[in-house]
Each structure stands twice: as C-alpha cells, then as structure tokens.
Chains A and B, each alone.
Chain A
C-alpha cells in the first residue's frame, strides 16, 4: 500500500455509516420496548425472523405483496398481544433479570415456531429495489442501503412525533418513567404494553424485510440482534436518537477498523471490535451517549 487513499477511506466510511443504519433499525425495536417497560427484549431478532419468514412465505404462496404485508402486520399484532398477555402480564413488577430471561426463552420459542410453521428453507426476498451501486466522485454507494437509511429516518421521525406530541406517546413516557405512578393516575398498563409490543412488531417487520432482502430470509436473520447490542450500549437503551447515532458510530468504526487494523490482528476483527467499543463506553459512560442516567436513592 502506498500513501493514504482518501477516496477509499471515504468509501469505507460511507459504507460503514450505511451498514450502521441497518443496525439501528434493529436497535430501535429494542429501544421501544425498553423505553416503555424496562425490558431488554432479546426476542427482537426472533420477531424480525418471524415477520420476514411469514411475509415471504405468503408471497411465495401467491398472496399479493400489499396483502401479504397487511396479513404479516396483523400476525405481528397478534404476536405482540399474545406476548403481553401470556408472558409480560404475569411477570409485572418482577426483577428486570426475570423479564430478560423471559424474552430469551421467547426468542427460542418464536424461532422454533417460525421454522415449525414455515419450514427451514432459505428464501430470497426481492423488494424491487435495484442494488446496482451509484458512483459519486469515485465512491460507490449502495442504492439499497440509501433506501434503508430513508426508511430508518422516516421511522425515527414517526416515533419521535408519537412519543413527543401524542396522547399515546405521553402515556408511553409516563409508564416508562414510573409504572406505579402511571397505574395510580389511571393509565391501563396492559393496553399500553400491548400497543408497544405491537409497534415493536411493526418495526420487526420493517427491519425483517430490509435485512431479509439483504441476507435472504433464513434462520441467521435472528442473529442480527448481535449487531444491535453494541449499538444500544453506545447510544443508550432508552434513546431512539441514541440508536441511530450508536448505529452510525458502530457501523463506521467497525468497518474502518476491519480495513485499517484488520491486518494487525490477522483479519476478521469487526465482529468483536464493535463489542470492544461498547465495553469501553460502558466503563466511561454506562448509560450510553443519550441514555437516561439512573439515579437510585437508598
């Protein structure tokens, strides 16, 4: 290698930022649940797999695209309500670790159910978005990743409006702030949680379609949660903005590290490099960049 190739650096950086947006799409689902119920929903990846597999299986059986989308959304709503009724409601006021373990179990059940219902075959998913690259000043940019970034931006905007300027959002924030106080003022916790899980199901559907189009719809889709965890640590578990910023930082830094530091460590470092950054952040700023600092009084 001779000299520093700035164009190449920019290309890696842009590619990393766009990959980071894909991580953010998954992380937003986590944030939504955590923000309103304090539960780290490890089943988000399995929900993503379930949504994508349901959608693609319907399309392959001849169901029109829009109808398949609507049916899948309905399925995700039912799934969200079922989870709330059968898992979360009986565990109200239980310690966070109990709820986390419950979602861990849920992830296995949803993954198994997805394969039980729809089979184990790998499916292609074509969203009709051409993925030939755009070349801007010598830098290749994926059209598909640009589309994904636009979807993520729209999702963040909608969620921000929902949380800040609607009654439902106000209720969400109240529940997130103090469940007992929210109950005391008459908010119906089960209904709010069911709504949140439904919204998380919708996010899982969107993320599942985009990741499914990228990887193919297969079991490995559920592993994308592993990409979201360092994003959450970095951005904060309860910040939608944090999920976006964290995704961008993780995406860019892991790609740059792979290209510029990979040889030093023998290559293949990006999978653990993101976690190394997250760990460093945990030590310096446990709540993440945008997360709420937890204050506990004895």
Chain B
C-alpha cells in the first residue's frame, strides 16, 4: 500500500462518523485556468470500498492517461477531487455541498443510486450532468424530463431485458422461454426492487413463470431464501445482489444443491469481489456486463505504460488492473472525456460549463469504429446518446467465472428497447407531473448556459 493511500485511509479513519473528506489525487494543473473539474464522490473505506476503489481508480487512471499522454482534452487539463462517502447518502450530499461551488465542474459521477437520487433536483438546478453509468433511475433515460441525468450504457430495465434475451438465446429462442421457471433473488432495497414490474411484464410477454424473493440487507443470511428456491425448483435464478449478498448467495446455492451455471448475476453482481469470496461455489456462475474484463485492450495497455509505469496508477494492487470495476471506471472515464471532447467541437476548445458538457453527453455517439480508435474495441460495444435517450442503447454481454477469471460466453446482446420505452416515458411523465417539470423538446437542446452566464442561452458559438 502506497504512503498517499495510507494517508487517505488515515484521513477517513480520523474523520470517523464526522464529515469524511479525504482529498485524493488532484491533477497538477489547476492554476492555469484551462481545466475541467470532476468532483468524485468516492468510497475507499467502508463496506463497499472494494467496488469504489476499482471504479474510481479506473476513472482516475483514464483521466491521468489523457492528461499525461495528450496534455488533456485539446489542451484542457482534467482535474478532480475526491470526497469520501463510504457509500452513504448523507455523506455524498455533504461532498456535493462542499464541492458544488468549485469552478468548471464538468459532471458528477457518484456511483451510488442513493446519492444520485438525492442529487437530481440539486444538479438540475445547477445545470451540471449527473452520470449514473449502469445504474440510477430507469426513467431518467427520458432526457425530455431529466435533461441532466445520464444512466449511460444500461438502465435497470434494459438490464432485465438483456438477461431475459440471453436466457432465450441459451434456451434456443424466445419461444423456448414459455413454461420456464425463474426466480429473481433481489436485494431488499429500492435498487433491488426497481426491476420487479419489468420481470412481471416480460413474464406476460414470453410466458415464463417468475417468483421474486427478497433478501434483507446486507444479505449475509440466505438459508431461508435458498430453501424456498430448492422447493420451487427453478430453471434459473437471477441474482440481483450487491456487496456481501452475492458471495453468500453463491455459497448458499451450493449448500442447497443449486448449480452455479444456472445462476445469472446482474450488473452489480458481476465483479471479482462477488465471486472470489465464494471460492469453488462460484465456478460456472454467469453474469451480465457492459464491459469485458481483462487488461489486453489497447487502452488498458496504454494506462499501464503511461500511468502505472510512471508511478501514477491509482490502484494499490496492480493485479486489479483490468478487473470488472476497474474496467467500468475506465469506460466511465472514456465516456466523460468524449462528452467533453464532443462539446468542445461545438463550443470551442476551452473550459466548458456543466450545461455545455450536458450538450456533449446528449451528442455522445461512439460507434464501433470510434470505440476501436479509442483502444477499447471489445472492451465495450458502442453508445449512442441523444437528447431524449440518455441511456444510449448500450449492448450487454455475458461472462462466466472459471474459478480464476471471467470468460465472455455470449455475443453482444441488445435489450428490447422498443418494449421498454413506453414504460419509461410513462414513469418520466408521472415524475414531471409530480415535480411540475416542463417536458423538453428538441428545440431546447441547444439552449445552454455559457461561461459567465447564469441563464441558458439560445445559441452557442462554433
């Protein structure tokens, strides 16, 4: 463990239950004025630290790569400051309050459903994007109602649809799903419950049977649930877990004789941290992902060469380079940087306002060729965010744990977006009615807040 990291931990330890504010790596060029700032509500201590260190480590590694290799984005340096949240909502909001007045904020990336929910009204007022890659409110996909929220790549409904489509491909077609028995084992939290109606919807569409069983937080006891599963005798169990719930599910499945290769994990049950503690019980387990794991991709090799070999790597343990959370952080870094780059093409190669970066996210189109040019071919498929579709049609793939590493076992799969969109729009419309939000039209997209301006302007310079 490096000394700065130890000091960071020491800072968090000292803070204890008080405001945890552990300033982490701050890029070295805040004084020039040509910078784009990313406040990072990270969690490096507490129960979810393993995920936090991987994800935020990946994002910071990518920012460092851009700064070191390219001198920033068209000369604009990326800067950031971390605030420790321990994955707690109140601490996340405290970090927001502490950092919200920093100049040149590009976007917020809390990686926490709870913190994201608590920030939606605030960042909408500030006109700064909130990125909830692979998580967050499903209806925030509807950019007409949520102009500043971006559940990039995958929202929970798409994830559900992607899992069902994968099972269909495994069974030999959607018609083979008819009569199959599924159990969804979900975390007892708003996150866990978010997909309940979608499984019911897909059940009706495809004719399978589904039973949804809750595991109380944190999920360190699941004997009763797995005995119920044993009695139900399902064809598949879909694991919608988080943290300790995941390895305990795999171990308890083994205890009750359920095969691991018939357990399909969701996107927050797909990391090394979820399977390693389960040991042999995890062998054969399958999980969905938006980004492949492994360090063979050119962008990862660049990170190793440019960042880690220069001693600037963020992960304490180099063995974690290319792990699921680290790669998710890398992909998150790519998406943030490319949104800034795209926005610069419209507004100028300078520091941008949060609203201008929002415009960049709303035009974030990275096709397969562009993804390959970024050195990420195979790491993730593509993204096509529009002003009204803030998810961006991300594709999913499935990986299987062999006891030592994840192996991709499917093609890139598309969720059934057409089926899901009306439900998302209905939910977003209800939210808009509740909050008195005027639904945007395409004509509102180019109205951005420029530098030094408090109100959105109708035009922008090219």
Chain A contact residues, CB within 8 Å of chain B = 5, 8, 11-12, 15-16, 18-19, 108-109, 112-113, 115-116, 119-126, 131-133, 140, 142, 144-145, 214-220, 223-224, 227, 254-255, 258-259, 262, 266-272
Contacts and interface: CB of A to CB of B under 8 A. Distances in A.
Contact of A259 (B53, B224, B247): B224
Interface in B9-50: 9-10, 12-13, 16-17, 44-50
Given A15-B223, A116-B10, A258-B224, A220 B218 contact: yes
A145 B264 CA distance: 26
B244 A215 contact: yes
A11 B227 contact: yes
Contact of A112 (B13, B50, B244): B13
A112 B9 contact: yes
Contact of A122 (B9, B17, B227, B273): B273
B248 A214 contact: yes
A214 B218 contact: no
B162 to A, nearest CB: 25
B228 A259 contact: yes
Nearest to A12: B227
8 nearest A-B pairs in the assembled complex, by CB-CB distance: A216-B277, A112-B13, A120-B49, A268-B214, A271-B216, A258-B224, A267-B214, A220-B244
Given A11-B227, A120-B50, A140 B45 contact: no
Given A8-B227, A15-B227, A215 B13 contact: no
Given A112-B45, A122-B50, A133-B257, 15 more contacts: A112-B12, A119-B1, A120-B45, A124-B277, A215-B244, A215-B247, A217-B277, A218-B47, A219-B49, A254-B224, A255-B223, A259-B224, A262-B214, A267-B213, A271-B216
Contacts of B281: 131
A219 B46 contact: yes
A258 B226 CA distance: 11
Q: Which of B214, B243, B317 has the most CB of A within 10 A?
A: B214
A73 to B, nearest CB: 23
A219 B213 CA distance: 25
Contacts of A144: 255
Nearest to B44: A120
A271 B227 CA distance: 17
A144 B279 CA distance: 14
A267 B184 CA distance: 13
17 contacts: A11-B227, A16-B224, A112-B45, A116-B13, A121-B320, A123-B276, A124-B279, A131-B254, A133-B255, A133-B257, A140-B256, A145-B255, A218-B50, A219-B49, A259-B224, A267-B214, A268-B215
Contacts of A18: 223
A268 B192 CA distance: 12
Contact of A215 (B45, B217, B248): B248
